[in-house]
Structure 1
Amino acid sequence: MRTETCGLGSYRADLVETYWRWEQDPALLVGYGRQAPESLEARTEGMAHQLRGENIRFTVYDLADDQPLPVGVATLLPDHSVRTAEFVIMLAPESRGQGTGTAATRLTLDYAFHVTNLRMVWLKVLAPNAGAIRAYEKAGFRHVGPIRQAGYWLGQVCDELVMDALASEFTGPSAIASPVSASR
């Protein structure tokens, strides 16, 4: 799945060290509300489990140049019994603030609604993470409400915001449902 500048591809075991490097970025640790880095050994063990699991994971690619460049991971954590999923995204530090997060989020929602047939996708984001919130809004998420004092941002207690996107409200171009993508 792709747009002109962003694509989603397979989650790849050969990229475990790249994924791990992105996950150790201090800004990402703050954004996830996680305070402790993880060893490469632990991440490699976790990767084996993730590859066998039911979660839907994509490598996010920047397609601006001739060669696709891995720049992040987008994940859906489905609850098939109610046809919903939690959404989580991680971008490399050098890829933030360029619209890649919005494009990857939109492609993941497109997949969730048109391939996996989910009816709703939700996420949690720390309230001070304004850049992520803007990207989620642009991709189609709406605010549901706060979970008060549920997180930490730069050592300070903060709210987590819950946002959701509904299949019935997902509008605009689809990389899956359009006639162009069907002929590829």
Structure 2
Amino acid sequence: MWVRDATCGLGPYRADLVETYWRWEQDPALLVGFGQQRPESLESRTEGITHQLRGANVRFTIYDLTGETPVPVGVTTMLPDPAVRTAEYIVMLAPEARGKGLGTAATRLTLDYAFHVTNLRMVWLKVLAPNKPGIRAYEKAGFRAAGALREAGYWLGQSCDELIMDALASEFTGPSVITPLR
């Protein structure tokens, strides 16, 4: 586990979990939340993970730490732009892990890592406007509304706005789990 709090941890993105990641990605609620119209085959996903593991994006497996052993429950991803020290943020949470605060905790841990390890100055995301639980989780973790792309997405067959949210290193408050060397 690379970073953790009392209930959630972020560890390595793992090739041996490709089928688990794929299963989460095929959940209809997740497809709606991302505005996707079609699922992906396991074969295609397996090919894709090899490329992802070699890429420059920062990916973590989210672990639920509330039981006796850590359980993988999702993935966070940062797509960095080193020229301007920013990154786009994406989170995927397993259906069985939703509604427990793990998405908020994982997002906060990822922001902590982004600002205190990778030294990013801003992290941003896009979320479909009808995704109220996602918006609340992002706000609790430190994101703020930054704007909207009007009618840029689809939610249950209807066009909808895609909201832009951002978090700034200069506004990141609260305790950090990143411990400096002494």
- 1:106, 1:5 → 2: CA distance? 12
Amino acid at match of 1:128: P
Aligned counterpart in structure 1 of residue 93 of structure 2, from 91, 95, 105: 91
> 1:175 & 1:155 partners in 2: Cα distance?
41
Superposed CA deviations along residues 98-142 of structure 1, whole A, max 9, x for unmatched, are 100000000000000000000000000000000000000000000
Tell me, yes or no, if structure 1 residue 28 matches structure 2 residue 23.
Answer: no
Could you tell me which residue of structure 2 aligns to residue 142 of structure 1?
Answer: 144
The TM-score normalised by the length of structure 1 is 0.96
Give the gaps of 5 or more residues in structure 1: none
Give the aligned residue type for 1:52.
R
CA deviation profile, 1:27-74 (whole Å, cap 9, x unmatched):
000000001000000000100000000000000000001100000000
User: 1:13-92 maps to which residues of 2 (within 5 A)?
Assistant: 13-92=15-94
RMSD over aligned Cα, in angstroms?
Answer: 0.9
**Residue 158 (structure 2) aligns with:** 156
Give the whole-Å Cα distance in 2 for the aligned partners of 1:106 and 1:174: 9
Partners in 2 of 1:105 and 1:171 — Cα distance? Answer: 14
Picking from 121, 125, 145, the partner of 2:123 is 121
Per-residue deviation, 1:145: 1.0
- Alignment length (residue pairs): 180
SS at structure 2 position matched to 1:111? helix
Divergent runs of 4+, >4 A: none
* Whole-angstrom CA distance in 2 between matches of 1:161 and 1:48: 31
SS of residue in 2 equivalent to 1:58: strand
CA separation in 1, counterparts of 2:43 and 2:83?
34
Q: TM-score, normalised by structure 2?
A: 0.97
CA distance, structure 1, for counterparts of residue 54 and residue 75 of structure 2? 16
